[in-house]
Amino acid sequence: MTAVLTRRSEQLLAEPAPGDDEFRYLLKGAAMAPDHGRLRPWRWVLARDEALASAADALAAEAPSQDREQVRRKALRAPLRAFLVFAPRPGHKVPEWEQLAAGSTMAHALMLLLHARGYGSIWRTGRLCGSPALRELLGLAEGERLLGAVDIGTPVRTGPPTRRSAPELSGHLTVLTTR
**What domains sit in the chain, N to C, each tagged with a CATH number?**
2-172 (3.40.109.10)
Distance CA 147, CA 133 (A): 15
pLDDT at 163: 79
pLDDT tens profile 159-179: 777 778 889 999 999 999 998
Cβ-Cβ contacts under 8 Å for 113 (sequence gap 6 or more)? 26, 29, 30
Phi, psi of 146, rounded to the nearest 5 degrees = -85, 115
Q: What is the spatial distance between Cα 50 and Cα 36, in angstroms, rounded to a whole number?
A: 37
* Statement: residue 157 has pLDDT above 90: no
Which pLDDT belongs to residue 179? 81
For the entire predicted model, the pTM comes to 0.93
**Tens-digit pLDDT profile for residues 39-77:** 999 999 999 999 999 999 999 999 999 999 999 999 999
Per-residue confidence (pLDDT) for residue 159, from 0 to 100: 77
Model confidence pLDDT, tens digit, residues 67-110: 999 999 999 999 999 999 999 999 999 999 999 999 999 999 99
User: Are the CB atoms for 143 and 87 separated by under 8 Å?
Assistant: yes
What mean pLDDT comes out for the span 125-141?
96
pLDDT at 111: 98
3-state secondary structure of 66: helix
Confidence (pLDDT) at 165: 87
